Structure 1
């Protein structure tokens, strides 16, 4: 059964992620394209370094070929932002990326992009699910080499086009004169070639760790977090580097280590970049964040006479609101962000280069810029907790939080409660707490941001007792 979450369709390899299901999804999308009359242009596809990613791309292409729809396959593992870029710049109606992003190594999946290089929205993915439910087995396919001979599969590698476009938007000259020293950690993923090329073109000194192809991601989750970037921290501090840059498995999210070895939470990165674009580059426009992301971004926006818009989790909502409001930046607490004028989805490579540009333009250490922002707007202090559950427990939590809409006894005055995405409580002191189910993994997530960290911890513990949760 094909079911899309907030970040595409993802499933455990050999369980849900099988050749047959990949073929079903491809046939479903092919049928949708034909009914919409957009099959003539074809579809572009890419893949990451996960187990079976390349094979899955080829299996899907063989299904499209059997239906007479041409596929343009990026013939080396590549960042997800490259596929989104190519869909937008070359006017494709659809694109696909074989990836499970930051999920554990046992997962793989498919992200679908629509015209303009956007993440397929909920109505689009629901339609694909409906088409998939009607696919008859066995799914027709054309042998790969025959499809190539007939011109129905074309292999491409547009990385240079993407890099040239990206470098055209970054102040490469000021970076060249800064003499920055940088450590990269692709986390065994696909960003190394792109970031190394750009940084060395800008005359930065670059050291790279974890760059080999490893489908198990070194035995770690391919998500840049404080827990997974300890080696990067050590490299930065021991080598006295200016910044450490990490990206997740498909390079649409990033993690940062500052010059002191401190891990920067994605919330801080989002706030820093909006602050930089407003203060140093004088860009005009609001910001967009999802419902689980820091409200300090709202304070920065207000200080510059702008508004910060809140949307549900899922980058499709961020890109849609950015398009509607002409926002400067949009992002989420899980590490994904994008900036106006670039692609309509997450790009960890572009975000990393903006941070490098910020250091060069400001002439300050990254830790000093962070201190400046904290002095002006206060600390970002968020407690985040994840809880696994069985189906029975999930139904119990859903009933309590979203059907009966019950809340625990909370020690702070409540301003309002939102059910836009999960259950979010806003306190009159500016703090908030949200409990929601992950759209990519079987997890309940609780986020709490309060003026004092101990209060955030306390509220999370109150929710744990209220819902009978354990970690």
Structure 2
């Protein structure tokens, strides 16, 4: 039991730790928690493309059934956001997803999504953690049943309807057809051998775009690497787009809850710039604030201010973005790692829906042109991050020590304000910022910096590393 530790987004671990016995204990914890909350609706069980994920999902299903719950078990691996949508669409008690997202193939994980379709907040995960136990089945006549299902069609229909409503608002014309909007657009899609294959590409094609597929076959080893979209892992996708063979490139991580985009001029597009472009595009036809994490660009604040809209800052983790979206009726919420959702959808990051929205945004105006205009109006931004090794047991003490010694200046600029919502974020007088926070998934402290130039960002990152070195125990 001591090997089961819930992090930012569920429990992930190497396969020598992520064992069937421990998975059954987590499933029992979820069943006990749902029962204590008075839930008796069916539970969705899904999984990703990893070796063994289907088997783990079946183990979870058995435990839930033995606790009296009916189970909707996915017939094949699908993206995590499809299961979140199913929970809300079919009024289920929640979803259990076997996935380690972008982690390497040597890992697996388990994630719980409550009945509102948003990431579970700490009180829910604490209740599950407190209820971890060996399975305790009810009498056989009280067991639930398992029924196979595929969440693809319902989610796709919803995504098309939501996207067409955005296009209708933009055009001022009812019945705007997404097929007409995307006619002639070719999107290169890279599934990285993950669960987005046959889902994101199928949605884009159904919406009227031409699709060039890369790594859209199932490979439980993900080609020998982690299914993490980044500039260095999407070089082939970038070549396809920058050569002119496609108008836009889109990729998903292993469970397709996040998105990466490649454009003809920039190649790999910084997710901060993607968020800025998406917010700006949505504000052309709709209103509302944005929710961003402390590690996400302040360019969003400038865009919001120009449109008379607020931008709210929350701690890192999409659960906090989702909570902020609910509290402020936000138009869009997201994070610098490529996770986004929009009003009218479930409050869970969805790389499938956002792929379609991004294609429509690009069809309306090339993303490179939009980003160029935003940077010209609001100022250039460069953001980078680095990691400083730190055992989990030392993270709190290192940050507490920093609290007693927050500097007045960083890299020659005065500190104007300090945000302690998630670590320490130092806003500087020159408009740049430095953030130090603990990783929720690795034994490191993260150091983020944003400024107008790469040289200045490098100075800030080095200053952040020195700051952490000065408070080392």
TM-score, normalising length: structure 2:
0.91
| Alignment partner, residue 321 of structure 1 | 324
Alpha-carbon separation, structure 2, partners of 1:215 and 1:398: 38
Number of the residue aligned with 1:130: 130
Q: 2:204 aligns with which of 199, 202, 206?
A: 199
Contact 1:400–1:406 (8 Å) recurs in 2: no
d(CA) in 1 for partners of 2:238, 2:146 = 43
Q: 1:159 aligns with which of 137, 146, 152?
A: 152
What is the aligned-residue RMSD (CA, Å)?
2.3
| 5+ long unaligned stretches in structure 1 | none
Matched, 1:311 2:350: no
Once the two structures are superposed, what CA deviation does each residue of 1:96-125 show, in whole Å capped at 9, x if it has no partner?
111111122222111111122111101111
- Alpha-carbon spacing, 1:381–1:355, altered in 2? closer, same or farther (3 Å): same
Provide the rounded CA distance (Å) in 2 between the counterparts of 1:121 and 1:292.
19
Q: Is the 8 Å Cα contact of residues 72 and 153 (structure 1) preserved in structure 2?
A: yes
Hey, what's the Cα distance between the residues in 2 that align with 1:392 and 1:408?
Answer: 28
Deviates more, 1:247-256 or 1:317-326: 317-326
Q: Which residue of 2 aligns with 1:438?
A: 439
Equivalent residue number for residue 173 of structure 1: 177
Q: CA deviation at 1:289?
A: 0.2
Q: SS of the residue aligned with 1:112?
A: strand
Deviation string, structure 1 residues 400-434 (Cα, Å, up to 9, x no partner):
335x4544962211011122111111112221111
Q: Is 2:434–2:464's contact at 8 Å kept on the other side of the alignment?
A: no
Q: 1:183 aligns with which of 188, 194, 202?
A: 188
Find the aligned partners of 1:164 and 1:322 in 2 and give their Cα distance. 23
Check 1:173–1:51 CA distance in 2 against 1; reply closer, same or farther (3 A cut): same
Partner of 2:171: none
Q: Which residue of 2 aligns with 1:213?
A: 218
CA contact (8 A) 1:243 1:366 kept: no
**1:44, 1:96 within 8 Å by CA — same for their partners in 2?**
yes
Offset of residue 294 of structure 1: 0.2
Shift of 1:392: 6.7
Q: In structure 1, how many angstroms separate the alpha carbons of the residues matched to 2:56 and 2:399?
A: 34
Show the counterpart of 1:330: 333
Q: Name the structure 1 match of 2:173.
A: none
Q: Runs of 5+ in structure 2 lacking a partner?
A: 165-175
Matched, 1:18 2:22: no
- Residues 405, 20 of structure 1: CA spacing in aligned structure 2 closer, same or farther, 3 A cutoff? farther
**Any idea what SS the aligned residue of 2:184 has?**
coil
**Which deviates more from structure 2 when the two are superposed, residues 338-347 or residues 459-468?**
459-468
Query: Relative to structure 2, which stretch is displaced further, 20-29 or 392-401?
Result: 392-401
What secondary structure, in the 3-state scheme, does the structure 2 residue paired with 1:327 have?
A: coil
Q: Which residue of 2 aligns with 1:5?
A: 7
TM-score w.r.t. the length of structure 1 is: 0.91
- In the alignment, the residues of structure 2 paired with residue 384 and residue 427 of structure 1 have an alpha-carbon distance, to the nearest angstrom, of 17
Are 2:67 and 2:144, in contact at CA under 8 Å, matched by a contact in 1? no
The aligned runs of 1:14-413 (5 Å cut-off) are 14-15=16-17, 17-38=18-39, 40-132=40-132, 135=133, 137=134, 139-140=135-136, 152-171=145-164, 173-176=177-180, 178-260=183-265, 262-279=267-284, 282-360=285-363, 362=364, 364-391=365-392, 394=395, 397-401=398-402, 404-407=404-407, 410=410, 411-413=412-414
Compute the displacement of 1:85 (Å). Answer: 0.2
| Number of residue-to-residue matches in the alignment | 455
